[in-house]
Each structure stands twice: as C-alpha cells, then as structure tokens.
Amino acid sequence: MTHNQAHNRQSWALVTGASGGIGLAYSEELAKKHQAIILVARNESKLEEVSGQLRNQYGVPTKVIAADLSTPEGINKVIQQTQGLNISTLINNAGKEESGNFLDLAPEDMLSSIALNCSASLLLTHHFANEMANRGAGNILFVSSIVAFQGVPLIANYAATKSYVLTFAEGLALEMAPKGVNISIAAPGFTNTNLAAEMDFSSTPIKPLEAEYVARYTLDKLGKKRIIIPGFINKLLFVLGKRLQSRAFNSRAFGQVFKTVLKKKLTLEKSTEVPS
C-alpha cells in the first residue's frame, strides 16, 4: 500500500468555525474520541494553535484550512484542499450574528451572514454528502439555534438564517438517510462564546451554557437524534413553545429576552419597543 492510499483511508471530521467557541469545543470532543480533524475558519494562526494543541494532547492527525466561507473562493479552497480525503463527519458550525435595530444594521453584513450561515452549509454539504452517499456512510451536523423556531426581533435576519438551516437539514435528513448519511441539527440556546460576548445576562434568570457542554452533549446524540437541544431550560422552552404557546407569543417572548440581554449594546429608542 502506498503512503497516499494509507492516507486516503484515514477518516476525517471537518469542523467549520473551529478557531473558537462551540466549533473549537466540537474539535476537542472529536479529538478525545481519536478522530482526525480538519479545522476550518479565517484566522490561520488561531487554527494552527488549536491544531498543535489537539495533536499534542490527543495524538490525532489534524489539518488546517484558512478560508472565508462566506465567499465562493473560501468554499473552493476547502473543496480543493480536501480532495481525495475521506470526510466521514461534517460539522457545519461556522456562523455569525448581527444584532440590533434592523434599520441600523448594514445590509452587506446581513447578506454575509446569509452567505456564511446558509449558503456555506448548503455548498459544503452538497459536496461532502455526495462523497458520503457514494461510500454509503457519513454524519453531518448542522448548527442551528433555539431562535430558529420563530421570528425574533433585534436578530431577525440571524434567526431567519437559523430557520433556513433547520428546515433545510430536516428535509435533507429524510432524503439522505436511505443513502447511509445521518443528518442531525443542533439547536443550542445562549452559549458562552464570542458570539454572545456583547450580551449581558445579569438582569435575566437565563445563564449561557458552556461551549464544552454544548459540544459534548450534541456529539453524543449525533446520528441518533434529529434535533438536539442542549440544556434543560432550552429543552423546556422548546417544548412549551411548541405545545402551549403560539408562534406569535414565542416571537414576542424571545424579543423581550433579546431586548434585555442587548440593553447595554443598544441605545434604546422607541423603535426598539417590542410590540405586545
């Protein structure tokens, strides 16, 4: 067997947004399970640092691809640099959020969130699911959010991108299951990462979960459960929201939560009032 053939047999997990937050935690959890990992994000030096740490601590092969996944060039770079590799797990985790009054947000920022949160997941999945279907095996995780189940004021575009991810992955899961490709959706609530850094939880009973817990819980259920909601309170919110409350009520309730946690960031004007 040539060195190349041996290399190609190695199965890899590809994690997007692996330079920090929940993606870094997914990478570490996978490394603990002796999984070789391809780490993708924009910040190359941070990725190299994570890569070295995982190799030293867990002895797993790692590979770094620095790419901006909100651009076609970034997607092509990932596809090119993984050619011939057996990607058995794809974690579509990279995401960004812009919060605040819609009229104050830059349209190009919101469009780049659609490109990263939605289009990148679609494009990477289209490429890697094809290879997985040919092999008759594979796991794909989509990272959505509990905000995906209703529209949410002050993060309207972000919540809509997460609804796209949820609905897309739900449909695709049924289509891909007979081909041996398992698809799960993670719907975390507030998690202690950079993305939630500008939120202030001091005046709410809600406390963010730790990324390590979210990653461990989710990976344990990957391929076994369709929609994975880490944390008791988040599960409760989901069940109440679905069984007892109207969608309109859920939108207003989430709006009040975001109005509270973003209070310090927003210069509150009348237009920030969430209609009741």
Ligand X SMILES: NC(=O)c1ccc[n+]([C@@H]2O[C@H](COP(=O)([O-])OP(=O)(O)OC[C@H]3O[C@@H](n4cnc5c(N)ncnc54)[C@H](OP(=O)(O)O)[C@@H]3O)[C@@H](O)[C@H]2O)c1
Catalytic residues: 158
CA distance 198 to 151: 21
Q: Which of the residues 108 through 147 are near ligand X (CB under 6 A)?
A: 116, 143, 145
Pairing assessment for the beta strands 138-143 and 181-186 based on DSSP bridges = parallel
Please name the amino acid found at residue 60.
Answer: V
Q: Does 23 bind ligand X (CB under 6 A)?
A: yes
Q: What size, in residues, is the chain? A: 276
Task: Supply the minimum distance, in Å, between the C-beta of residue 197 and ligand X.
Answer: 8
For residue 68, count CB atoms less than 10 angstroms from its CB and return exposed for 0-12, middle for 13-18, buried for 19 or more. Answer: middle
CB of 121 to ligand X, least distance (A): 9
| Closest CA relative to residue 88, chosen from 223, 220, 213 | 223
Nearer to ligand X among residue 147 and residue 172 (C-beta): 147
Residue with smaller CB distance to ligand X, 88 or 191:
191
Among 191, 218, 250, 272, binds ligand X (CB under 6 A): 191
Distance separating alpha carbons of residues 65 and 141, to the nearest angstrom? 19
CA dihedral 213, 218, 219, 225 (to 10 degrees): 150
Candidates 13, 14, 17, 151; binder of ligand X (CB under 6 A) is: 17
262 is a site residue for ligand X (CB under 6 A): no
Given a contact cutoff of 8 angstroms between Cβ atoms, the answer to whether 158 and 98 are in contact is: yes
Residues in the interface with ligand X (CB under 6 A) total 29
Nearest approach, Cβ of 120 to ligand X (angstroms)?
7
Q: In angstroms, what is the minimal distance from the CB of 180 to ligand X? A: 26
Q: For ligand X, which residue of 118, 160, 176, 196 counts as binding (CB under 6 A)?
A: 196
Q: Which two structure tokens, joined as six digits, stand for 142? A: 């989509």
Q: What residues make contact with ligand X under the rule CB under 6 A? A: 17-23, 41-43, 46, 68-70, 93-97, 116, 143, 145, 188, 190-191, 193-196
